[in-house]
Chain A
Amino acid sequence: MLRPVPMTRALIVGPRDKLETTVESLYNLKLVHIVDHREGEEGLEIGRPLPTASEASEILVKLRSIASVLQLVETKPIPTEEVAGDLREKILSLELNISEEDAAKKKTQALLQDLNRKIDEVRPFAQLPLSLADYRGYDTLEVFVGKIAGEIEGLDSVTRDYKAFSAPGLLAVFVPKPQAAAVRDFLTQRGFTSIPVPEGEGDPREILSDLLAERERWEARLKEVEQRLDTLRERYAGFLSAAKARLEMTVEKAEAPLRFAVTDHTFIVEGWVPTESFEKLESGLGRFPGLFVTELEQDHAPEHSEESTTADPPVMLRNPKPLRPFEMLVNLFSTPDYHEIDPTFILIFTFPIFFGLMVGDAGYGLVWMAYGLWLIRRWKNRPWDFWKNLLVTLIWGGFWSVLFGVFFFGEAFGIPFHHPALASTRVALLDWSGILGVNIPLHAPLEKLEQITDFIVLSIVAAYVHLAIGFVVGLVNDMGHSRKHALGKVAWLLILTGFFVVMIVRSARWPLDAEGRTPFGYLVWNKPLGWFPRAGYVYTQVGFGPNNPIPWAAIALLVGGVGLLLATEGPLHIMEFFGLLANIVSYARLAAVGIAKAAMAFAFNVIVLQTMIFPALDSGNVVFLILGFLVGIIIALLFHLIVFLLGAVTAIIQAIRLNYVEFFIKFFRGTGTPFRPFGERAKPEV
């Protein structure tokens, strides 16, 4: 659970005449992650593909071209057994059929394009009462035909010697050549753009109607061809996708020898097998006489140097089944290194807890859980893809939201269990205890909209815990191979603690705030951190008064941490000193998102209550009462849907971000290659 599944390097050696059966059984076993052999390595050549390869890939190419002509969308894969008989013959005849139709379709499309161009050219001329022949063939006249934006007036001022024909948006002018230049200037200045006169003779109106009729004929033809292709698609879609799956399998098997090493009479396969399945592999292949399966090297302690990464085993994460969806969050970032701790077990808590803190509302959390569980039931047969995994992580998020909403924030749908002590308006006085008529025995330790500073302090506590876990994990990761780097992590831990204490001390200045509550910082400083040495440096200008001086011990932690960091990681890492401070403050987004979401819900409640529900209640009229409540509830539902979705999206992104940016960067290498056994069809990634 904490580490990737241990792998064993397996070596399979056998005579060449057993190659095909070996490939076949390896494919069915789905256990070996084959390590590609490189040509010439250790004086061994790579194998040649099986004879079936070239034929199968040839048909596969044909099949793909058919699929693209038919615009086949990959449907649900059909069990490959359904494709029986000679694939080659079927596909070749289908290809013949389809390529004919495709050629007809392309030809018709080209023709139609040509026709459309001609129609566009002739169309303007059909508006003028002239034959096409009238526009050319003059020795003394210049002809201007073109588009105009509006009416062009005042051509008389240039010359009186012209003849013009015009239609809406079109103008044709005939002028003697000597005046042509002046007329051209005049026209261009007024937005005239000339268009070419189409080839041919005769009345443009007749030509146009001929062309239109022809276009109609060809469009009908195109439709016919497309219909035939549609029928073909419907009939063969299932067959084609099944055949494709089968052919891809054949090709993968047939080309497998390219990844093996061969000599004149033997072949050698190298690959990684999960250690626990090695016996299964041995017994699976042991049935064939002459085949030799052995363990190459057992990977022991993480003995790891920078250049050996290429030889690292592939990584297969394995966590208890209910927690497996969280592996997706890790893999989305990167596959962990074989030698490092699989951070999934931390994400199991941190991701949903952060989500819960940000949503922090029992009502929304409950809706999330109910909706998620309902969707999971509906998706029973869906493979475990990105969305399904995400959904499970969100159900956990909903669970934590309910916990925080009930016990910590005392709030559901933006309405608190008990109204704040200083509330004065009618809306602010509304609370669940009043609505339900029962005094809910749970009092919120933190009222989101009132205790903003406290929420930020809480975020800083979360930051400390989260980052400290990150450094500890990094420490464990580094301990195996470099004591120096491990000490560097200790240095960061010291600095982090120093920062944390200073921040908490600053927030613990007064035992009571303006509303008479004990601030969170004061509680944290005096209860969990009560053991910390108090003596320190008074610095009133920035809020460290005589009651809360900066502890000498915290200063010592910071200075000592920096010293240790200099000794272990070098002076360049000092730059990250303030980066860590920024990381801690960055967790304030937990408070920011939580407060923003609660404020939005509250604002929507104000709108609905003040404009609909309260007036309806006050009217004393039964019709008004029912109408007001009906409309109010519908609008409230809409509003809360917005808060619900917006809040969830922000909470997801911010929770992921805190884990990826602030947390993973502290320790995560993520240079592993995922374990992909030979025989497992590649699944589409996110």
Chain B
Amino acid sequence: MVAPAEAQGLIGMAIALTVAGTGLATAWAEKVIGAASVGAIAEKPELFGRVLPLVVIPETIVIFGLIIAFLMLGQLGT
């Protein structure tokens, strides 16, 4: 299904907003977690394995954004 021509520009902008917004949100979340994790690792280096998944958990946000962006890309004509 391709959206009407006058909506194409809006869809393009929506895609950009989705990726930018989720990317920013991920970065923000990882910044906070990352700083805390490095502090924890400095105290107890063996925590590395436990902390790594915590740091990358917010990455899911941007993956969701990416999926939505791909779905919207499908609405764009070529």
Contact = CB atoms under 8 A, between A and B. Distances in A.
Physical interaction between A and B: yes
A686 interface: yes
Contact of A332 (B49, B56, B74): B49
A53 B73 CA distance: 73
Interface string A631-660: 000000000000000000000011011001
Interface in A137-175: none
Interface stretch (B5-13, B32-40, B63-71): B63-71
B74 A453 contact: yes
B53 interface: yes
B49 A585 contact: no
A588 B66 contact: yes
Nearest to B74: A453
A592 B68 CA distance: 12
A331 interface: yes
Contact of A661 (B57, B64, B70): B57
Given A453-B70, A585-B67, A657-B53, A686 B60 contact: no
A686 B46 CA distance: 7
Nearest to A653: B56
Contact of B45 (A334, A592, A661, A686): A686
Contacts of A685: 45-46
Given A585-B67, A589-B63, A686 B53 contact: no
A156 to B, nearest CB: 56
A106 B67 CA distance: 63
A592 B65 CA distance: 11
Contacts of B49: 331-334, 660, 686
A586 interface: yes
B46 A592 contact: no
Contact of A585 (B53, B63, B73, B74): B63
B47 to A, nearest CB: 10
A361 B52 CA distance: 26
Contacts of B67: 456, 585, 588
A334 to B, nearest CB: 7
Nearest to A330: B49
A207 interface: no
Nearest to B73: A452
Contacts of B53: 333, 656-657, 660-661
A333 B47 CA distance: 8
A333 B56 CA distance: 14
Given A452-B70, A453-B74, A333 B50 contact: yes
Interface in A563-608: 582, 585-586, 588-589, 592
A412 to B, nearest CB: 25
A585 to B, nearest CB: 6
Contacts of B48: 332, 686
B60 A334 contact: no
A660 B52 contact: yes
Interface residues of B, number: 18
Interface string A267-299: 000000000000000000000000000000000
Given A332-B49, A685-B46, A582 B56 contact: no
B67 to A, nearest CB: 5
Contact of B70 (A332, A456, A656, A657): A456
A350 B74 CA distance: 31
Interface in A512-537: none
Given A453-B74, A686-B45, A661 B56 contact: yes
A598 B50 CA distance: 31
Contacts of B63: 585-586, 588-589, 592
A333 B50 CA distance: 5
Interface string A428-466: 000000000000000000000000110010000000000
A676 to B, nearest CB: 13
A334 B50 contact: yes
A592 B56 contact: no
A586 B59 CA distance: 9
Contacts of A586: 60, 63
Residue among B45, B52, B56, B63 with max Cβ neighbours from chain A (10 Å): B63
A395 B64 CA distance: 31
Given A452-B70, A585-B67, A589-B59, A657 B52 contact: yes
A442 B36 CA distance: 49
Interface string A322-335: 00000000011110
A658 to B, nearest CB: 10
A654 B56 CA distance: 8
Nearest to A543: B1
Contacts of A654: 56, 59
Nearest to A659: B53
Nearest to B62: A592
B50 A592 contact: no
Contacts of A453: 70, 74
B52 to A, nearest CB: 7
Contacts of B45: 685-686
A596 to B, nearest CB: 9
Contacts of B57: 661
Contacts of A589: 59, 63
A582 B67 CA distance: 12
A331 B50 CA distance: 10
Interface in A653-686: 653-654, 656-657, 660-661, 685-686
Contacts of B52: 332, 653, 656-657, 660
Contacts of B46: 685-686
A649 to B, nearest CB: 12
Given A334-B49, A334-B50, A657 B56 contact: yes
Given A685-B45, A686-B46, A592 B60 contact: no
A453 B67 CA distance: 9
A418 to B, nearest CB: 21
Contacts of B59: 589, 654, 657
Nearest to A583: B60
Contacts of A592: 63, 66
A325 to B, nearest CB: 15
A686 B45 CA distance: 7
Nearest to A455: B70
A674 to B, nearest CB: 10
Contacts of A660: 49, 52-53
19 contacts: A331-B49, A333-B50, A333-B53, A334-B49, A334-B50, A452-B73, A582-B60, A589-B59, A592-B63, A592-B66, A653-B52, A653-B56, A654-B56, A656-B52, A656-B53, A657-B56, A660-B53, A661-B57, A686-B49
Given A333-B50, A585-B60, 15 more contacts: A331-B49, A332-B48, A332-B49, A333-B49, A452-B73, A456-B70, A582-B64, A585-B67, A586-B63, A654-B56, A657-B53, A657-B59, A661-B56, A686-B45, A686-B48
3 tightest Cβ-Cβ pairs between the two chains A and B: A332-B49, A660-B53, A661-B53
